[in-house]
Amino acid sequence: MDNTTIALGSLLVMLALIYAGLHVAIALGVVSFVGVWLIRDDVTVAANLLAQAVSDAIASHVFGVVPLFVLTGFLVAYADIGKDAFDVANQLLRRLRGGLGIATVAANAVFAAITGISIASAAVFSRVAVPQMVRFGYRTRFAVGVVAGSSVLGMLIPPSLLMILYAFISNQSVGDLFTAGIVPGVVLALAFSAAIVALARWRPGEVFDTAAAAAGDDTPAMGWGEMALKTFPVVLLIASVLGGIYTGLFTATEAGAVGALVALLIAVLRRKLTWRSFWGVLTETGHVTVAVSFLIICASIYTRMLAMSGTPQALVEAMAAAGLGVTGFLLCYVALILLLGTIVDSSSIMLIVLPLALPLAEQFGLNLIWFGVVTVVAVEVGLLTPPFGLSAYVVKSSLAAGHDVPIGHVFRGAAPFTLVMLAVLALLIAFPSLSLVLLK
């Protein structure tokens, strides 16, 4: 058995183990360890590689960006900043046909610019937006679909946990990836809003339960002073985190620390945080950080095993011989990610495919920052596709009492947004400048 066969066979074994229920990090580590053992025919080499990956993968201080942004996201959720963003967006758009849906997208976009975690957005707006939309005559299926669909903005609009993960795997700048995600994130948010307007105009039965809902929201008007008061914490957080990165005042890691501090002060000043809840926030941050760390360590072992086998170079030569070229590679790559998205979570997809795909992308001369944006958007489609669709399950589990819906309704409600994401993904592939325009 040659080395390439061992490496490709390990990929199939790993997918089978994950589908059978084994944790993806353990599957990565075990398969990589056995793969190195078979390639070198020496268990000592495999053990040494495992030990080296554990010490090297997360030793850099740059890795501190992960727990800091995760902590910021949890604190922001406790401080009710997502609810305030929705209230203001709803006030500004409430007279527009389908305005509550667009307000949900807008609030998710703002929330994404603070937290960087799609699951957090799905959990927050399931409780904030869905009851309001149902109250004003929107179909429950549409309401949960809007929340699930727009939650994916959390992983595209910076800061983004997936972009941080991509930066570690590809050895690219976190700041450049954040910058590259801005325009695609705005384009996706606008595309979602346009889809809502189109549905409300030409397919009102898909959006509204009653004719009265189409007339708009009749809640009491909110004064400009109250809107400014609710908006100030959001603006302060975005300016503190992203403003500092883009002006060069501090690095992405330092921005995470600043964001966590500002979010903590807001939560304390609003009296939303007790010692008990603060300990819970720290504990949850630790759980997420450890999980991500373990994944990165095991992905590092997997990357080294693939490099040792020579598989990436062999695949480049095979694609060249088949005449696929760059277009063929991209189509195969995106199709593989979309397929994996039906059975595997976002982080796991990146950890599985990137060690194999990045060397190919470099061989084809692709810009790895643009490639990262394409990867994140393609991976995020998986959050909305059955049977795995993590965002859909988070929405269902987070709904307030009295608004429970079958998981199938969540997937059907999110289907238009999945199609919009695929259209935007095609646009980003066809026009790389959309991702790179702010880096020039």
257, two tokens: 């620390």
Domain chopping of the chain, boundaries: 3-439
Peptide bond into 432 cis (omega under 30): no
With a CB cutoff of 8 Å and minimum separation 6, the contacts of 274 are: none
Beta bridge partners of 208: 138
Q: At residue 217, does pLDDT exceed 60?
A: no
Cα 202 to Cα 331: distance, rounded to the nearest angstrom: 33
Task: Let me know: does 142 contact 413? Beta carbons within 8 Å.
Answer: yes
138, two tokens: 């929107």
Q: At residue 359, does pLDDT exceed 50?
A: yes
Instruction: Report, as an integer, the average pLDDT of 17-41.
Output: 79
Percent of the chain with pLDDT over 90: 10
**DSSP letter for each residue of 57-125:** TT-SGGGGHHHHHHHHHHHHHHTTHHHHHHHHHHHHHTTSTTHHHHHHHHHHHHHHHHH--HHHHHHHH
Q: At residue 80, does pLDDT exceed 80?
A: no
Q: At residue 113, does pLDDT exceed 50?
A: yes
Amino acid in position 431: F
| pTM of the predicted structure, to 2 decimals | 0.77
H or E element that contains 246: helix 244-246
Instruction: Output the CA–CA distances (angstroms, integers) from residue 277 to 77, 79, 172, in the order listed.
Output: 12, 11, 36
pLDDT class for 214, splitting at 50, 70, 90? very low
With a CB cutoff of 8 Å and minimum separation 6, the contacts of 365 are: 326
With a CB cutoff of 8 Å and minimum separation 6, the contacts of 332 are: 324
Scored b (16 or more CB within 10 A) or e, 87-118 reads bbbbbebbebbbbbbbbbbbbbbbbbbbbbbb
pLDDT class for 424, splitting at 50, 70, 90? very high
